[in-house]
Structure 1
Amino acid sequence: MVLWGKFKDLEKTKSFPKTVVESLPFIRGSTIIVAYANYYPHFKRHSNGSISGFYADVLKAAQTYLGVHFEYIPSVDGHWGSLLENGSYNGMVGMVERREVDMALPEISYTYDRSSISDYPFALNKERQQILVQNTFTQNSLDLWTYMDPYSWWFWYTTLAMMTLATTLAHLFQWVEKQGPGSEWMQDLIYVMIGIGITTMPKCTSSRIFFFWCALLGYVFVASYTSVLSASLIVKRFQVPYADLSDLANQDMDFSFLIRDGSAAHTFYRKAQAGTIANKLWKRSKLFKSVNEGIQEVMNSRDIVMQAAVGDFQYLEEYPCEVYAMPWNAMTDLAGLILQKNSPYTQTFKELFLLLEQSGQLDHLRIKWKLSVIKRVEECDKDDRSLGFSKCVTAFLVVPLGVVLALVMVVIEKITMLYRTTKSLNARQQSKWP
């Protein structure tokens, strides 16, 4: 194998740790039984019996240089392993505890409870877990209030109040004009108040200043409204609903917190002390068996929150527009493979993995299988930056509504005019009778 060629040279030059070299005659030719769960890209066993993923490459290295063979058995119940009420474990951790297998993988979180029944030879990765929620931005959603977004509601309330005030002043001005002689002082007062100095200032300086100010203010409003509206229509925005795990636990709303059944997180939340953040979330918890099942629940309800490992984010590639990952870690664990408690293989694998780490080969594999990249599905791969009907539906509704109202007004005017004409003709005809 070319990938591990450099380790052959290390073995020839006695660069392997002494413990590994001394243990080679003992373990060479041994068959190590491995409990596994498919968790790509960490590990996957295909239908033809071949394996792939980060842990597969690590085991291939061990097979080559330690001369061991591996036999794979799937997890008895599909779980990684959580602590049960009777003190035993289910899943792959339980299989190791009962000594049904020698080893279990992949990405088994190293916890204090598990350390009492298994050996941790070496932490191969950091397992980050984040919170997944339904993406409240949906590409095809209809929002009739989109055109109100550029300004706050207080701005619209103020604008409506100013329009009402201006209309009232206009009616007041017309009423004053109709008062006839003796009301000139009232007319002059209103002229000065609204800045139209027709009688008091023939040059209309105040009128020009007033209308110039109104035009400038209107231009600023229109420009700002247009720019903000364009941004709100074209650029996708997402408001992060929870600042951290504490903020999530203290929410007043009713929601379900999804935790993977049989995981280390399952045990952590279940054993949390009363009153703690973890205990508050446990009271809202709901278990899911497969990541795909959990994501489907998150997609279907805004009241579902899910904790998932970053390694599970591969499933989100199928739903880039429907699910959002919080930009903070809910939990970070050291993870790797585990062996039976006091296993004769523990020290050998520990020093072999340490050698792979120091030589940079584990980092090479993390990059190869993209384990060092924190994948967050924040951008919608299907995001269309063009303005579709769904985003401009308000404009399409306002125009026909205006046309309909205009037609209604025309009909009313015609009916009113016809009624007045008929009434006038009837009055004339009646006046002609002797």
Structure 2
Amino acid sequence: MDYTSWFISISFLFVHLIGASNATGASPRAVAVKYDWKAPAWDAVNSHRSMQFSFPRAPHFRVAAEEWPPHVYIRTDIEEGSKGRSPQVMGKTVITGPMGKLMDELAHAMNFTYSVVQGDGYWGAPQGNGSWNGMIGTVLRGEADIGLGPFGMSYTRSQVVDFTIPVFIEMLHVIVQRPLPMPDPWGFVAPFTWFIWVGLLVAMVAIMIISFAITNILGFGGPRSLWKHFWATYSVAFSQTFPWKPNGLALQMTCFIWAIVIFIVTRSYSGALTSLLAVKNVPVKYDSLRDVLDDKTLNILMEGSTALTAHLQTVQSGIYYELAKASLTRAKYVKASETYGAAYSLIPKGHYAMLVENVVCRKIYSDYFSLTGRCDFYMSTGNFWQLIYAMIVSKGSPLRELMNVRIQSITESGIYEKWAIDQMPNMTHCLKMPTKVKAHEPYSLLDLWALFMLVGGGLVLATLVFACEFLSSSAAGKF
């Protein structure tokens, strides 16, 4: 144990021994046996004593930190020190943002000073030679006493460092280029589902067969040609009159029912089609991790050396195994401080998807809208990979319990959440994306090409039928 840890342990033990002896009448030795001083019992009495603890003489700690908006900002300040109750500036490196404020509150409450240690820009993951990179590696090598993070808690990380109690909980989302309103060339079939269209076709065939059977069984009522019955049924379906007059009650009732059905269907279709032509669809292609994995042409952006990337190295099945395989050829890893630059430069190109926390997505929304006034990004409604985020200290450090009670009081009161929300003033403007947009401009050929294709197909078919009839008539000597 180094001098700093020894000093904290002795100070913390002294406070507990005196407090417990006065409260219970027990001897200092008995109290020492009751408590494990490297990791004190987490109870109400111990929490109260930890909250009351303050260093008699302010020690100096080194804090490993990397920029990760909106939680952590790191900047260079030309002033030495700071005034008031917020001594964040130690030298030229300054921590701001919600985690900076949290670190500031801890320093003020516990009476210590700190300086910032920056590393390689990563959180921390095990390397092939057994060492760790990132901020975790900085703490393990003794170059820092506290890791600001905040770090996603995982079993692998807990084997080498101690986590504080959680600061917040997050889920990952997919953020992609915001889809643009697109016309639907096949919108003229949209008023009905395919089941309705198939049902209408079946009904038309059934009416044709029934009317043909009635006239042939009764021997009167209409023509006995199946083709003429088909043509009559087809004419009514397109709001045309009967080419012949049906006689007999049975045939007249059959034709009447078909006419009523067609009347209701055509009125419903025309009203729905008018409404559909007034809007344009906004297709959402990537709304979950599964959507991203299914598109083999889409590149994936991820933060490097995170709890997720460490998990991908060992997973053997499931959707994360698929992500691990896809990341071998499709993934581009970025540092925490490079996340926003990568989002702004790569995602608008249209063939990149980024896997980041919900709060990072909202921060991207907020900052981009503040700069441009546009909402060019879309955050998936589907989420995955829930993580608990916390700070870290070296294994067995007595700082952990002293920090825990103060972190708990700040998070449970909602103060930290308020700090985080204050970093994103324009986040709500782009959160709700409509799935349909009212069209104010005239439709172009691109919007209705399917209709013209249908007309063209009909003309080609009619030409082929005409050619067949002409050849058949010529062969019969009619021309």
Report the TM-score, using the length of structure 1 for normalisation: 0.66
221-230 or 262-271, larger mean C-alpha shift: 221-230
How do 1:3-402 residues align onto structure 2 when only pairs under 5 Å count?
17-25=48-56, 28-48=57-77, 51-74=95-118, 76-133=119-176, 137-139=179-181, 141-153=182-194, 188-189=223-224, 198=245, 200=247, 210=255, 213-214=258-259, 217-224=262-269, 226-227=271-272, 230=275, 234=279, 251=294, 256-272=299-315, 274-285=316-327, 286-289=331-334, 290-292=338-340, 293=342, 297-301=346-350, 305-313=353-361, 314-317=363-366, 318=368, 320-327=375-382, 329-357=383-411, 360=413, 363-370=414-421, 379-380=432-433, 384-389=437-442, 394=447
User: What are structure 1's unaligned runs of at least 5 residues?
Assistant: 1-13, 173-183, 407-434
| 1:79–1:262 Cα contact (<8 Å) kept | yes
**For the aligned residues, what is the CA RMSD?**
5.0
Inter-partner Cα distance in structure 2 for 1:63 and 1:235: 55
Report which stretch shifted further, 143-152 or 378-387: 378-387
Q: Deviations over 1:370-404 (max 9, x none)?
A: 39x998965238985344346895459969x99xx
Other structure's SS at 1:369 match: helix
Determine the C-alpha separation between the residues in 2 that align with 1:212 and 1:20.
83
Which structure 2 residue ranges, 5 or more long, are not aligned?
A: 1-18, 20-44, 78-92, 213-218, 234-241, 369-373, 460-479
How far did residue 241 of structure 1 move? 6.1
Offset of residue 280 of structure 1: 2.5
Separation in structure 2 between the aligned mates of residue 86 and residue 233 of structure 1, nearest angstrom: 63
Partner of 1:412: none
Q: 1:344 to 1:165 in 2, by over 3 A?
A: closer
Specify the SS of the correspondent of 2:55.
helix
Q: Deviations over 1:165-222 (max 9, x none)?
A: 999xxxx9xxxxxxxxxxx969554699659684846xx9966983675255334344
SS at match of 2:115: strand
Q: Distance in 2 between matches of 1:383 and 1:249?
A: 23
Distance 1:186 1:218 in 2: 23
SS in 2 for 1:45: strand
Change (3 A) 1:264 1:38: same
2: distance between equivalents of 1:268 and 1:232? 48
Instruction: Give the Cα separation in 2 of the matches to 1:391 and 1:154.
Output: 30
- Output the CA distance in 2 between the equivalents of 1:237 and 1:142: 9
Conserved? CA contact 1:81–1:91, under 8 Å:
yes
CA displacement at 1:47 relative to structure 2: 4.4
Matched residues in 1 for 2:52 and 2:203: separation? 88
TM-score, length basis structure 2: 0.60
User: What is the Cα deviation at residue 232 of structure 1?
Assistant: 7.8
Return the alpha-carbon distance in structure 2 between the equivalents of residues 54 and 288 of structure 1.
25
1:325 and 1:377 in contact (8 A); partners too: no
Cα offset, 1:366, TM superposition:
1.0
What SS class does the counterpart of residue 101 from structure 1 fall into? coil
Which residue identity does 2:416 align to in structure 1? L
| Kept in 1: contact 2:140–2:394 (CA 8 A) | yes
